[in-house]
Amino acid sequence: MSEACDVAVIGGGAIGTAIAFHLTRLGAGRVTLFEREQIAGGTTAQSSGLLRAHYSVPENMAMARASLAMFEDFAGLIEDGEASAGLVRCGYLIVAPPGERSRAVREAIGRQRALGIEASLVDAAAARALHPWLYLDDVDAIGYEPGAGFADPNLVASWFARGARRRGARIRPGVAVTGLLRSGSRVCGLRTAEGDVGAGVVIAAMNVWSGALARWAGVELPMTITRHDLASFETGEPYTTRFPMVKDLASAGLIYTRSTSGSQILVGTGDEGIEVSAPEGYDADISLDWIAEQGAALAHRMPKFAEGRFVTSWSGLYDTTPDWNPVLGPVPGLDGLLVAFGLSGHGFKLSPMIGRLLAQAALGLPTDLPLAPYRFSRFAENAPLRGSYGAGAVS
């Protein structure tokens, strides 16, 4: 055994670094994080960074609200005046056509308000005062969350890692975990590219690479890998952070938008994406049809983009569960192992609180919010955490 630690974390994305950081804050003892490449080099680097507490699943709403509070006082959380999440609080508008989606928006806003989250239904005139470029004649419900915004996933994960390191954690980029050490049904450490490591508890935050964990643990994961494409556009006038983010539930792809690169608009879709078989070597070719479709949806909602220009496109991967919500906590039948996977395209906004909850669980402390709704076994029990927006990353 080359070394030992009290808690080992696998994965240095937003989730793994947040877990390591909160472990050190809660006095976990010797904490080591293993990242096979570099901190924030995985799917965190692909993220659009949107932060909102608008969810149809109340558990997500509560977790997003708690996370937003941490993003808002990020320097205080890290205890370093220089620490920044790159937070831009530009607000969030969600628009829905008549019917089920309109009802879902109304219900979600009601729930948010009951939880004390600042959110309201607004009329078209109020929405246009916030975002004068919007065409809204075809929408039936408009929700507004002024405290929402976006942050920089790379910065966040880097600061979590730095904060953890300062509090004594060992952060080990470039060290791949290759297996679990077990004593019967108990996980007692890790195999790494640099030798075996004993650990009191192992927490795996491997996102789309969680298939390897499943093989080591001999379990089947309720997770697929889905590809999601993004594009940016520009038009004559700069599209800046003075515009709230927009979620368009009336569009075929359920598009979301935000300002990017100072003057462009980023467009992503909230649909089911394209399933891929492995995180490496997948086909990342984005079709011109897809770009034209999203460009048309954008121009419909913001007619100024009818004269717009496509700038660039890229794609990223989600670790998607059948109910589009994360799996957090222990793995049935295995002691000493906790997991955080299946973030399903909305894990960045939840990362500060997921970090805290898993750190609490690893240390046997009461968790601030219940982890049971996110349990691994919910799919086998036919008790999914399904929201009223259906498949896709609104949840």
Ligand X SMILES: Cc1cc2nc3c(=O)[nH]c(=O)nc-3n(C[C@H](O)[C@H](O)[C@H](O)COP(=O)(O)OP(=O)(O)OC[C@H]3O[C@@H](n4cnc5c(N)ncnc54)[C@H](O)[C@@H]3O)c2cc1C
Task: State the residues that interact with ligand X by CB under 6 A.
Answer: 10-16, 34-37, 41-44, 46-50, 153, 176-177, 205-207, 209, 212, 228, 230, 316-318, 343, 345-349
In whole angstroms, the minimum distance from the beta carbon of 42 to ligand X comes to 3
Cβ proximity to ligand X: between 35 and 248 the closer is 35
Q: Closest approach of Cβ 372 to ligand X, in Å?
A: 20
Smallest separation (angstroms) from ligand X to the CB of 352: 11
Angle subtended by helix axes 351-362 and 58-72, to nearest 10: 100
Using a CB cutoff of 8 Å and minimum separation of 24, what contacts does 254-258 make?
Answer: 254/392, 254/394, 255/294, 255/297, 255/298, 255/301, 256/48, 256/50, 257/298, 257/301, 257/302, 258/48, 258/50, 258/90, 258/150
Nearer to ligand X, 95 or 223 (CB): 223
Q: CB count, 10 Å around CB of 285?
A: 7
- Shortest approach of ligand X to residue 248 CB, angstroms? 15
Nearer to ligand X, 78 or 340 (CB): 340
Question: By the 8 A CB rule, do 1 and 198 touch?
Answer: yes
Of 42 and 91, nearer to ligand X (C-beta) is 42
Q: Are 105 and 55 in contact (CB under 8 A)?
A: no
Residue whose CB is less far from ligand X, 102 or 387: 387
CB nearer to ligand X: pick between 102 and 257: 257
Taking the C-alpha atoms of residue 101 and residue 389, their distance in angstroms, rounded to an integer, is 7
Which CB, 60 or 102, lies closer to ligand X? 60
Write a three-state SS string for 270-297.
CCCCEEECCCCCCCCCCCHHHHHHHHHH
d(CA 165, CA 32): 9
d(CA 232, CA 243): 15
Q: HSE (CB half, 13 Å, CA atoms) of 370? A: 6
* Least spacing, CB of residue 91 vs ligand X, in Å: 15
Residues in the chain: 395
Residues 6+ apart with CB under 8 A from 169: 20, 21, 23, 24, 31, 32, 33
We find the least distance from the C-beta atom of residue 332 to ligand X, in angstroms, to be 21
Question: What is the nearest approach in angstroms of ligand X to the Cβ of residue 382?
Answer: 25
Distance of CA 112 to the CA centre of its chain: 19
Enter the DSSP assignment of 36.
S
CA distance 385 to 323: 6
The phi-psi region of residue 220 (left if phi > 0; otherwise alpha if psi is between -120 and 50; otherwise beta) is: beta
Residue number of the CB closest to ligand X reads 13
Beta carbon of residue 228, minimum distance to ligand X (angstroms, whole number):
5
Closer Cβ to ligand X, 66 or 102, answer by number: 66
Is 245 or 250 the residue whose CB approaches ligand X more closely?
245
Shortest approach of ligand X to residue 173 CB, angstroms? 9
Query: Within the chain, what is the greatest distance between any pair of CA atoms?
Result: 66
Structure tokens at 319: 């670790």
